[in-house]
Amino acid sequence: MIGLARTVWYVLTLRCEEADRVRSVGRAEDLTRAERVGASIHTALCKSCRRARRKALMLQRIVEEMGEATSTGVGLSDAAKARILESIERGGGSE
Protein backbone atom coordinates (compact mmCIF):
# COMPACT_ATOMS: atom_id res chain seq x y z
CA MET A 1 0.00 0.00 0.00
CA ILE A 2 2.87 2.38 0.78
CA GLY A 3 4.37 1.68 -2.66
CA LEU A 4 1.09 2.57 -4.34
CA ALA A 5 0.79 5.77 -2.29
CA ARG A 6 4.34 6.78 -3.28
CA THR A 7 3.58 6.13 -6.94
CA VAL A 8 0.39 8.19 -6.80
CA TRP A 9 2.20 11.01 -5.00
CA TYR A 10 5.01 10.92 -7.58
CA VAL A 11 2.52 11.09 -10.45
CA LEU A 12 0.57 13.95 -8.90
CA THR A 13 3.62 16.06 -8.13
CA LEU A 14 5.69 15.39 -11.25
CA ARG A 15 6.95 18.61 -12.82
CA CYS A 16 7.81 19.17 -16.49
CA GLU A 17 11.55 19.20 -15.78
CA GLU A 18 11.36 15.80 -14.10
CA ALA A 19 9.19 14.36 -16.87
CA ASP A 20 11.77 15.58 -19.39
CA ARG A 21 14.59 14.00 -17.37
CA VAL A 22 12.70 10.70 -17.21
CA ARG A 23 12.12 10.77 -20.98
CA SER A 24 15.83 11.43 -21.62
CA VAL A 25 17.17 8.93 -19.09
CA GLY A 26 14.58 6.34 -20.06
CA ARG A 27 16.43 5.56 -23.25
CA ALA A 28 19.71 4.90 -21.46
CA GLU A 29 18.72 3.38 -18.12
CA ASP A 30 15.97 1.30 -16.59
CA LEU A 31 13.23 3.38 -15.02
CA THR A 32 11.14 2.57 -11.99
CA ARG A 33 7.47 1.82 -12.55
CA ALA A 34 6.59 5.11 -10.81
CA GLU A 35 8.82 7.04 -13.24
CA ARG A 36 7.35 5.34 -16.30
CA VAL A 37 3.75 5.80 -15.13
CA GLY A 38 4.36 9.34 -13.92
CA ALA A 39 6.01 10.48 -17.13
CA SER A 40 3.32 8.85 -19.26
CA ILE A 41 0.45 10.43 -17.34
CA HIS A 42 2.18 13.80 -17.13
CA THR A 43 2.86 13.82 -20.86
CA ALA A 44 -0.73 12.84 -21.62
CA LEU A 45 -1.99 15.79 -19.57
CA CYS A 46 0.65 18.42 -20.36
CA LYS A 47 0.52 20.15 -23.75
CA SER A 48 4.07 21.52 -23.41
CA CYS A 49 5.51 18.10 -22.68
CA ARG A 50 3.62 16.51 -25.59
CA ARG A 51 5.11 19.17 -27.86
CA ALA A 52 8.61 18.58 -26.44
CA ARG A 53 8.22 14.82 -26.90
CA ARG A 54 7.08 15.29 -30.49
CA LYS A 55 10.11 17.54 -31.20
CA ALA A 56 12.47 15.00 -29.65
CA LEU A 57 11.02 12.20 -31.77
CA MET A 58 11.26 14.37 -34.88
CA LEU A 59 14.92 15.14 -34.15
CA GLN A 60 15.61 11.46 -33.56
CA ARG A 61 14.06 10.60 -36.95
CA ILE A 62 16.08 13.33 -38.67
CA VAL A 63 19.33 12.11 -37.12
CA GLU A 64 18.55 8.52 -38.14
CA GLU A 65 17.72 9.60 -41.69
CA MET A 66 20.88 11.69 -41.92
CA GLY A 67 22.89 8.72 -40.67
CA GLU A 68 21.35 6.50 -43.34
CA ALA A 69 21.97 9.13 -46.00
CA THR A 70 25.62 9.60 -45.07
CA SER A 71 26.24 5.86 -44.82
CA THR A 72 25.03 5.45 -48.40
CA GLY A 73 27.10 8.39 -49.61
CA VAL A 74 24.06 10.57 -50.23
CA GLY A 75 23.97 13.88 -48.37
CA LEU A 76 21.26 16.45 -47.80
CA SER A 77 21.11 19.46 -50.06
CA ASP A 78 21.48 22.91 -48.53
CA ALA A 79 17.78 23.56 -49.25
CA ALA A 80 16.78 20.38 -47.38
CA LYS A 81 18.94 21.35 -44.41
CA ALA A 82 17.32 24.81 -44.36
CA ARG A 83 13.83 23.25 -44.42
CA ILE A 84 14.72 20.96 -41.53
CA LEU A 85 16.07 23.83 -39.44
CA GLU A 86 13.01 25.95 -40.24
CA SER A 87 10.70 23.11 -39.22
CA ILE A 88 12.54 22.64 -35.93
CA GLU A 89 12.38 26.35 -35.16
CA ARG A 90 8.63 26.43 -35.92
CA GLY A 91 7.98 23.56 -33.54
CA GLY A 92 7.82 20.64 -35.90
CA GLY A 93 4.10 20.58 -36.56
CA SER A 94 0.75 21.39 -35.08
CA GLU A 95 -1.02 20.12 -31.96
Q: pTM here?
A: 0.55
Taking residue 81's Cβ as centre, other Cβ atoms within 10 Å add up to 12
Indicate the domain borders of the chain.
1-45, 51-95
What band does 95 get if pLDDT is binned at 50, 70 and 90? very low
Q: How far apart are CA 95 and CA 75, in angstroms?
A: 31
**Which range, of 54-58, 71-75, 80-84, averages the lowest pLDDT?**
71-75
88-to-52, 64, 82, 84 alpha-carbon distances in Å? 11, 16, 10, 6
pLDDT tens figures, 1-12:
567 787 777 777
pLDDT beyond 80 at 59: yes
